[in-house]
Amino acid sequence: MSDSLECVARTSTGSRESRRLRRQGMVPAILYGHGEACVPLAAPREAVAAAVRHGSRIVELKGAVKTSALVREMQWDTFGVEPIHVDFVRVSASDRVHVKVPIDLKGECPGQRAGGIVSLVLHEIAIECTADAIPDKLHAMVGHLEVGGAIKVHDLELPKGAKLLVDADEVVVSCTKPIEKAAEAAAATAEPEVIGRKAAEEGEKAEAGE
């Protein structure tokens, strides 16, 4: 998915200028890459936030510059609510880039229906792919996941030509028995034996004392 961002050039840089831009509802940015000069930019905060919500990794910059760019890094405010700075890298459709892609669960898990607990262990993974093939997200298909089972990185379907940058055997999703129930069951079988033995030992000591 690709969003368009209307950018303006920054005539000056520094923390004071950045604060001024943010008060005006703009997000300071920098564009670099492809051996060209770095270009200080600013983009409307609402448009940047919208692109993030849409899951855009590649954006079309317009206005002061006209190019496709990868959102390389996003800085947020203290509360993680508003973007305060963006790093853009110039890309073409055929450029191979390293990106982190979020993972979501898809399907109805039979293990969960049987009482198991489904846990998303990895929320994102790093891959290498061409700029025009960056997926919004990767789906972990849980339709066949039973209690005690797991989905690993190598089970995920990647875009054509994409390369994993993480261990293929890492667990992405697991379905386990509820810990609380297992602990209660173990306690229920262990307690009578312990209490009975303790009572017998105390009785033997009492008889010996008489």
27, 84: one domain = yes
Please check whether residues 64 and 11 belong to one and the same domain.
yes
Q: What is the pLDDT, as a whole number, of residue 12?
A: 87
Residue 188's pLDDT is 59
- Whether residue 121 is found in the same domain as residue 42: no
Q: Given this model, what pLDDT does residue 170 score?
A: 97
Using CA atoms, how far apart are residues 128 and 165, in angstroms rounded to an integer? 7
Same domain, 85 and 8: yes
Q: What is the CATH number of the domain that holds 121?
A: 2.170.120.20
CA pair distance 22, 85, nearest whole angstrom: 9
How much of the chain, in percent, has pLDDT values that exceed 70? Answer: 84
Tell me what the pLDDT averaged over the chain comes to. Answer: 87
What is the spatial distance between Cα 42 and Cα 34, in angstroms, rounded to a whole number? 20
pLDDT digits (tens, 9 = 90+) for 24-41: 999 999 999 988 999 999
Which among 177, 132, 141, 138 has a CA at the least distance from the CA of 158?
138
Which of 75, 91, 107 delimits the end of a domain? Answer: 91
CATH number, domain containing residue 53: 2.40.240.10
Domain ranges, residue 164 = 98-177
Mark which of 41, 76, 91 sits at the end of a domain.
Answer: 91
Model pLDDT for residues 145-184, shown as the tens digit of each residue: 999 999 999 999 999 999 999 999 999 999 999 875 555 5
Residue 210 has pLDDT above 50, yes or no: no
Give CA angle at 135 (63, 110), nearest 5°.
145
> At residue 197, does pLDDT exceed 80?
no
**Identity of residue 160:** K
Residues 79 and 130 reside in one and the same domain: no
Considering the domain architecture, whether residues 76 and 138 belong to the same structural domain is answered as no
Q: Which of 35, 62, 91 is the last residue of a domain?
A: 91
pLDDT single digits (tens) 41-85:
999 999 999 988 887 888 999 999 999 999 989 999 999 889 999
pLDDT band with cut points at 50, 70 and 90 for residue 209: low
**Residues 78, 6 share a domain:** yes
Per-residue pLDDT at 204 = 54
Q: Rg of the chain over CA atoms, in angstroms? A: 28
Q: How far apart are CA 33 and CA 88, in angstroms?
A: 8
For residue 110, give the 3-state DSSP assignment: helix
What predicted TM-score, i.e. pTM, was given to this entire model? 0.68
pLDDT for residue 147: 95
Strands (E), 137-195: 138-141, 150-152, 163-164, 171-176
Bridge partners for 153 per DSSP: none
How many domains are there within the chain? 3
